[in-house]
Structure 1
């Protein structure tokens, strides 16, 4: 089968190919420079250089789109400046709000974020518990107590919700009603949300603050801005101050008052810097303030200002930018030539070329007489501006917001000015009244683990919302990575191995069931003390031969041995016995203790345990505990040689065996030599005192581990208490191995 003749490209096709290649190269080059400018802007923002950062972010907007989340560092810089100004004479309002948000008056049933009743309690990964409303409405990104991340996907704590329903049914009903108002807003049934929130406000003055904020959201969606602002300003000094400021800022933004809303958003973050929704809104506003109005402006800037971008500065281009406009074709050739030359520059030179944002694209347009800047977006009813004027205006606005951290809505009524403060003080006073579990409703059975049927000890709540004793849960996860009650997958939870104690339940048990807790603790300590005895009921790992001073890495996957290793770590001994199998007895009569040096857990619950041999022992009796073998043991020690002549002969025997072993090891094939080094390490150094330890010289045990002999023979040497007999046995083995031709 003949192939068709090759088709040669025409001149037009080759030209189009190279032009396309140049275009791709220019686009990649431009994207690269866009990222460099953003890095420069973020670096300036992180160093608190606010005005310079504004200049560079304006330049970045000329190169391409900037997403709001890319302005996170910039928003942090603005917030730091805002706080610095607020720390001066005008900071009284911010300080008072922070004081109002204090949790000094909270009890165990208060949400650490909004300081209201927990209601439908949700326990997060760190073990702290929040109300369902704060979690669902994303009112926090970090735990207020330990700064741990909050995913927002956590489920309600089943045990705690059941207790709150039993102890405080009326308050739980109110909390559920407030959550229903939020659900109506999510379903965009705003009028129903307003009606339900109004009923709550009229029937329960204690829930006024939270209900008004939910109603404010509904009013805002219905474009009833005056009513929404009244609700947000009803209790500015209450414990909900950060959320109140957030919704006030949202209403102002919806009304088109962007300047005022930005100030209030910053005020909200000054009160609670971990308010994620406020942070996102600040980033969006900053992005809008710095962005052009439409893509046509960006295209025009890209076509007419390529030759004056900061990263392509050369003497020719700068002089061209200062002179008369050039044709697009001539300018395109200049950009390509400069780009080719630019590829030879280092990263440092490119950063140096970004030191003067005055040569931004918009600046180039003004120097060349271009009128493309007229397509820019209006900034808060300001005249249409270029990027530098726009940046200057933003600087002025930010400087104003720096000095005026507290914004008061001008339309506030006399009722709000006079009556709100009094009401908020009363609410703060009521918040300091501690709740107590009603007498007669406290039943220890309600706080029992469903696995061990005993009082919770170190209660841990899973992501699915069920609570167990920490030890009980770990034992269940040894067998299967599922919740013991609902069978939901806990693979990720197992992989993280963060079994944090649920603080609310733990404190309730200690406070209300102190006697039962004392007895439960005593039982736990007794069980732990039993595990700490290294002669009685010692856990036995039935697996392989182990020797003193010799490393013994283990792969632990069986549930019974997972439990055994964990108990050794928790008891603090970090030791267990190792024996080989015996068909009749279960395991042999002699073994070696292993000392755990480290444990590396795998995501599925298995672990790699790094151990090293310790003392030898003899088994006195055997037993079982939770699936793994145990034994009462006695430790073995070498019999010391006292006479000088006998000690001298022993030393000579040791030296001869050591030299014989060294020669054997050096003459091994390189493959076997490297395998021994990898698994057991190098041969131990000759010891000055061969009777310094109860187990004798380490070289004997290293040789016993690496020599290719039957485990039963190794076991007989392990059980010897005479160093002389052990050396003679090893000498016989070495002599036999050296007599075999090395093929």
Structure 2
């Protein structure tokens, strides 16, 4: 890694200098000013990337004044603000984010997103299960556990049939509560806000600790534009069960109330914990776009219909920063962060200043006495102050900082999540965990999009025959094309924890079966198709269900090998064959595959058998007999040289179309080998010639079974001589 020397400009500074020079010299040469405006925006991006916010804000303001800039084009500015936010968080509480992540892990039967009881479990593609309500809100872009992208649509929110039945059996009281909440949420989803508020309030009278009901009522109040009541409910919910989704929804309420400074803080809090939270990022971009835009008055006044109006009294700290209070709309000190339990003093440091500078952020753009340039200058003072953010003083008057708060986000561990639900032993029945296909205990259980659960291997075998669910017959073509058969984590954990003996026996049985499938002498899988030879490529198109299963087992066991034999009408397949090593497998969306293989060892079949529809064999492997006598070895080398030269002549006399076909399917002719006895199967050119020569497969099979190189070379020489004499003029 290169080290920047004292006095040396950084790459970002050089880029910024380039844009400045280009701007002065008119490098773009655009008479209409489009090139100039583009340079201004590019320069703003570079300055923001270098955390030079004071200058960057000026450039963004100029760009917004001179041209139409979309909110998403402020992504670099948002990223710079977020980096400073996270840096401040790590300085004040180095383990804050990690401890938050650990503390946010749900218990066994809780949703990873909201940490509430998993009453309506939906299993997503990665194998983790969420409550249906969290998925329906559309606020999850990635899995909270494994960080995998969630490509779910409303039609995919099918309940996991098995898990739903188990939780109904084990936790009837929790399920009853879930159903009452679902009724209120149904009214909310149908936009019947008044009925939702009425029902939620009625249910809360008897169950005031139900956070989910209170969240439902908060959303209903939001829909009715009763922002004060919605804010009170969200604050109460977050004090008991903090969550990113909850903070996001509260920020939206604050945004509707016109309290943009507080909502911006909460959106940044969400991004600090989860940078992939796209909705929060878009809101931050929109707010900054409105604050920097000359027409931002409409955004600043977004909450004019709110029942809560901002006060007209400036804070002393704000007066000191702004310098002139008469030209800026006065603000009140926001108290919602104090009620929500967030560390307000720390969150304000994301701007590099204390709380006073943050207080002036919201209304800068709406000041009627200031021009556009003055607004941008004032906003720069509030967001930047100086270029070195970490060195700026914080607001010493904040009571939360005096109390010594250090966490970036309120801890995610609550009384509700501390309730550890365990499966009642008297209700535990091993038969509840049997696969409906193999009638054995689940092993690597996977759940289909339609909500049914099977052993992974059982489901794959069914999909080899038909792309439909074995139970409900719903089409699984899309699921088959993805080929992401992730185990249902919750179900697998329950089996391991509560049925350890049954799981141990099932695992032992699986290990024994895998060991038997891995025996490449007594139980070699046989692909009955065509001739194969050592060192010669053999691409295959696999479409039959039995061979899909065979290839999949070769990959899963790690052997990556199977035998290839030609058909025999009497015995089923020939007595001699060649092992094929799988180099790669390309799966097609409908389950077929293109398998790239290359020939390996030759074998002789001792006995035949069947396994799950495909043939297997007990074999012994063949290799050429070594020649010890030096004189005989010299004569063998001379014969090999003659055959090799004769083969090259024959190959080059072929028509171009035939030669190109051979090169496309089998590659070029192998080079001449100096030590012809080094390979256990003899020189590679002999097998390449057998693969390309127009000879009857039975004759090729006889050459494959030979264990003396001399005899094989003589036969090949006879074939070449015959072909040359036949095609000679």
Task: Give TM-score scaled by structure 1 length.
Answer: 0.76
Aligned residues: 622
Aligned to 1:81: 84
Q: Tell me by how many angstroms 1:105 deviates.
A: 6.9
Separation in structure 2 between the aligned mates of residue 179 and residue 30 of structure 1, nearest angstrom? 57
CA distance in 2, matches of 1:254, 1:199: 27
What is the Cα deviation at residue 36 of structure 1? 6.7
- From 158, 168, 171, give the equivalent of 2:171: 168
Could you tell me which residue of structure 2 aligns to residue 212 of structure 1?
A: 214
**In structure 2, what is the equivalent of residue 123 of structure 1?**
123
CA positional deviation for 1:175: 2.5
Segment drifting more, 244-253 vs 731-740: 244-253
The alpha-carbon deviation at position 292 of structure 1 amounts to: 4.7
CA shift for structure 1 position 438: 1.0
- Which residue of structure 1 aligns with residue 142 of structure 2? 142
| Equivalent pair of 2:241/2:412 in contact (CA under 8 Å) | no
In the TM superposition, what is the alpha-carbon distance from 1:699 to its structure 2 partner? 1.3
In structure 1, what is the Cα distance between the partners aligned to 2:40 and 2:469? Answer: 50
Retained in 2: the 8 A contact 1:238–1:428?
Answer: yes
SS of the aligned residue for 2:270 comes to: helix
Partner of 2:26: none
3-state SS of 1:614 partner: strand
Distance 2:63 2:550 in 1: 59
User: 1-side partners of 2:177 and 2:674: how far apart?
Assistant: 79
SS of match in other structure, 2:74: helix
Matching residue within 417, 427, 431 for 1:431 = 417
Q: Deviations along 1:646-701, whole A, 9 cap, x unmatched?
A: 22222222222122222222333333223222221222222222222331111111
Distance 1:201 1:612, change over 3 A: same
- Verify: 1:540 aligned to 2:542, yes or no: no
Conservation of the 8 A alpha-carbon contact between 1:257 and 1:380: no
Provide the residue aligned with 1:462 in structure 2.
448
Following TM superposition, by how much is the alpha carbon of 1:34 offset from its aligned partner in structure 2, in angstroms?
6.8
Superposition deviation, residue 100 in structure 1? 6.2
Distance 1:482 1:64, change over 3 A: farther
Q: Which residue of 1 aligns with 2:259?
A: 257
Rounded Cα–Cα distance in structure 2 between residues aligned with 1:405 and 1:161? 51
Do the aligned residues in 1 keep the contact of 2:242 with 2:412 (CA within 8 Å)? no
Distance 2:661 2:34 in 1: 51
Q: Which residue of 2 aligns with 1:666?
A: 652
- Structure 2 counterparts to residues 257-276 of structure 1, below 5 A: 257-276=259-278
Indicate if the aligned counterparts of 2:365 and 2:375 stay in contact, CA closer than 8 A. no
- After superposition, the C-alpha distances for 1:178-207 in whole angstroms (9 at most, x for unaligned) are 343333223222222222322343333542
Cα distance in 1 for residues equivalent to 2:31 and 2:192: 48
Q: Measure, in 1, the Cα distance between the counterparts of 2:84 and 2:251.
A: 19
- The alpha-carbon deviation at position 589 of structure 1 amounts to 1.6
Match of 1:286 in 2: 288
> Hey, what does 2:111 align to over in structure 1?
111
Question: In structure 1, how many angstroms separate the alpha carbons of the residues matched to 2:688 and 2:413?
Answer: 74
Relative distance call for 1:50 and 1:557 in structure 2 (3 A) is farther
Match status 1:644 vs 2:630? yes
Match of 1:389 among 363, 374, 378: 374
Query: Given that residues 259 and 397 in structure 1 are in contact (C-alpha distance below 8 angstroms), is that contact kept between their aligned partners in structure 2?
Result: no
Aligned with 1:460: secondary structure? strand
Residue equivalent to 1:689: 675
Q: Structure 1 pair 608/241, CA: closer, same or farther in 2 (3 Å)? A: closer
Describe the shift of the 1:267–1:128 C-alpha distance in structure 2 as closer, same or farther (beyond 3 A). Answer: same
Segments of 5+ residues of structure 2 without an aligned counterpart are 1-28, 298-361, 404-409
Q: CA deviation at 1:392?
A: 3.2
Distance across 1 between alignment mates of 2:98 and 2:225 = 30
In structure 1, distance between residues paired with 2:702 and 2:411: 83
Q: In structure 2, which of residues 242, 245, 252 is the aligned counterpart of residue 243 of structure 1?
A: 245
Asked if 1:68 is matched to 2:75, the reply is no
The question of 1:559 aligning with 2:562 is answered: no
Deviation at 1:384, TM superposition (A): 6.3
Report the CA distance shift for 1:557/1:285 in structure 2 as closer, same or farther (over 3 A): same
Q: Secondary structure at the match of 1:172?
A: helix
Q: Which moved more, 1:633-642 or 1:572-581?
A: 633-642
TM-score, normalized by length of structure 2? 0.78
Partner of 1:633: 619
- Structure 1 residue corresponding to 2:598, chosen from 612, 618, 626: 612
Cα distance in 1 for residues equivalent to 2:241 and 2:66: 44
Deviation of the 1:620 alpha carbon: 2.0
Query: Are the equivalent residues in 1 in contact too, given 2:113–2:243 (CA < 8 A)?
Result: no
CA distance in 2, matches of 1:581, 1:470: 32
- Equivalent pair of 2:100/2:412 in contact (CA under 8 Å): no
Deviation of 1:99 after TM superposition, in Å, equals 5.2
Structure-2 change in CA distance of 1:391 and 1:465 (3 Å): farther
Q: Give the C-alpha shift of residue 172 in structure 1.
A: 2.1
Give the Cα–Cα distance (whole angstroms) in 2 for the partners of residues 109 and 87 of structure 1.
32
| Cα 1:645–1:98 shift into 2, 3 Å | closer
Map of 2:517 onto structure 1: 531
Determine helix, strand or coil for the equivalent of 2:520: coil
Cα distance in 2 for partners of 1:741, 1:101 equals 77
**What's the counterpart of residue 222 of structure 1?**
224
Query: Aligned equivalents of 1:618 and 1:221: distance in 2?
Result: 77
- Cα distance between partner residues in 1 of 2:544 and 2:504: 33
Kindly indicate whether the alpha-carbon contact (under 8 Å) linking 2:447 and 2:487 is maintained by their aligned counterparts in 1.
yes
**Secondary structure of 1:431 counterpart:** coil
CA drift at 1:550? 0.7
Contact 1:106 1:432 in 2 (8 A): no
- State the 1:577 CA deviation: 0.8
Q: Where does residue 469 of structure 2 map in the other structure?
A: 483
Instruction: Provide Cα deviations, 1:477-515, integer angstroms capped at 9, x if missing partner.
Output: 222222222333322322222111111111101011111
Pairwise CA distance, 1:459: 0.8
Alignment partner of 2:664 out of 678, 681, 702: 678
- Alignment of 1:500 onto 2:500: no
Contact 1:206 1:427 in 2 (8 A): no
Shift of 1:615: 1.1
Tell which deviates more after alignment, 462-471 or 62-71: 62-71
Is the contact made by 1:98 and 1:271 (CA closer than 8 Å) also made in structure 2? no
Q: Distance in 2 between matches of 1:143 and 1:405?
A: 36
- Residues 290-330 of structure 1: CA distance to partner in whole angstroms, max 9, x if unpaired? 345499xxxxxxxxxxxxxxxxxxxxxxxxxxxxxxxxxxx
SS of the residue 2:165 aligns to: helix
Is residue 2:579 matched to residue 1:593?
yes
Question: Distance in 1 between the 2:253 and 2:398 partners?
Answer: 11
What residue ranges of structure 1 are gaps of 5+ in the alignment? 1-25, 296-376, 411-416, 418-423
Q: CA RMSD in A?
A: 3.5
Report the secondary structure of 1:608's partner residue: strand
Give, in whole Å, the separation in 1 of the partners of 2:593 and 2:631. 50
Following TM superposition, by how much is the alpha carbon of 1:33 offset from its aligned partner in structure 2, in angstroms? 7.6
SS in 2 for 1:639: coil
1:230-379 → structure 2 map (5 Å cutoff): 230-234=232-236, 236-293=238-295
For residue 283 of structure 2, give the secondary structure of its aligned residue in structure 1: helix
In structure 2, the CA distance between the partners of 1:213 and 1:618, relative to structure 1 (3 Å rule), is same
What's the offset of the Cα at 1:532? 0.8
**SS of structure 1 residue aligned to 2:570:** coil
Change (3 A) 1:183 1:607: same
CA distance in 2, matches of 1:466, 1:32: 58
Distance 1:161 1:53, change over 3 A: farther
Q: 1 CA distance for matches of 2:483 and 2:635?
A: 56
CA contact (8 A) 2:584 2:596 kept: yes
**Stretch of structure 1 that moved more, 60-69 or 125-134:** 60-69
Deviation of 1:86 after TM superposition, in Å, equals 4.3
Kept after mapping to 2: 8 A contact 1:552/1:610: yes
- Partners of 1:431 and 1:404 lie apart in 2 by 38
Compared CA separation, residues 657 and 98, structure 1 to 2 (3 A): closer
